Structure 1
Amino acid sequence: MTTDHQVIEQLSQYRQKKARIQALSTYSVGSGITVSRLNEDDQLQELHRRLRGLPSYMYLSAREQELESIAHAYLGGKYPSGIKMQKRAVSVDVMDDGDQKLLRELRGKIQKVIEARGYELRDGIDQIIERLTELQDLQTEIDRIDFLLTTLEAYRPNDAELLRLVHVEGKEIDDVCTEISVSRRTFWRKLSEAEKEYTFLAQ
């Protein structure tokens, strides 16, 4: 379960994540195609959905289920989001030749989808998948934070406003105190209360 500290840390990284999304969105994979454009591709989105979390029986063929089982075996029962985390989780050294072949096939499926759309790739497929998956993961995190703040706003609007001013907009403490007409001491008390309520929703 996510700890209170982790929940608030994720919230406090909102602006950094948004900046990273913007940077990733403009990354060119070649021929004027950006990662954000790849991310909007319906076929590629569908492939990512298939590879990242849905129950196997809903979409995978017998061969694809075999590929998935190999990948999960080397992830130790866990399935971290993001290609970078997954690559760290999988120890290539312990794979036999058969497993290596299956995992290469899995990666090749994604490359074929990209190439089938007429994209000439500037970098290797691993680099592109890593950036694409990071973009998707970050956007999911941002969407989650936005949802939680909107939910909080429905019954504690002052808490939601304070969290947005501090964590989303990144305003200075004195400016926030002036805007909501409170002292610094009251600010810290209200912020602590707002973060506790946000954490309750997030867990």
Structure 2
Amino acid sequence: MPGLAILLALYPAVPGVSAGRGWTAHHNAVVSVSWNVVMFGTGLLVSRYLRRFDARRIWCAGLAVMAVGYTLVGSYHGNELELILTSCVANIGAGVVVAGAPALVVGVVSRDEQGLGSGMLNMLISLFGAIVTAGAYAVLAADSTVVDGTAFYLDTGYSCIFWLGALVTLVALLLSLFIPPLHDPAEEDAADGTPLA
């Protein structure tokens, strides 16, 4: 979704042809700093509490906030303030999800499978990222205008891709209800008699 939001920011604003904001790359970078800092800070904060609380609940809360955020971005993205506020909500959730994913992997596999589990996580992120991106471009293309071979996207398409992001996030939330109970790798090491680092 953040990658597709760049199209919204940089494409021109031409009534009936293109519903972009028409920002320069510099202006987009300045505006987007806010939600990127929010995501970074949220990830740092949440990572400190993952061992104190059930990481599954933290993960699910992050997905729920992210879904709400993407829904809001889809509805409110008409100017800088709207994009900053709605994207910050989405990125609070994204920060929680990014921080929680490795903890979930480590918590459901054995110590010997942690490398394999982490590799699978990265592979699945890339796979589903490619699938969702292709779907999002199909949604954008359904509400586009082609001028001299270049597709320009209307506002309905932009709204729909963010709502698609919210839908995918809700599906992930439903699937997350089936995550098995997590174990603490430190407790596993203690049970095996392995000295803790």
Normalising by structure 2, we get a TM-score of 0.28
Higher-Rg member (1/2)? 1
TM-score by length of 1: 0.27
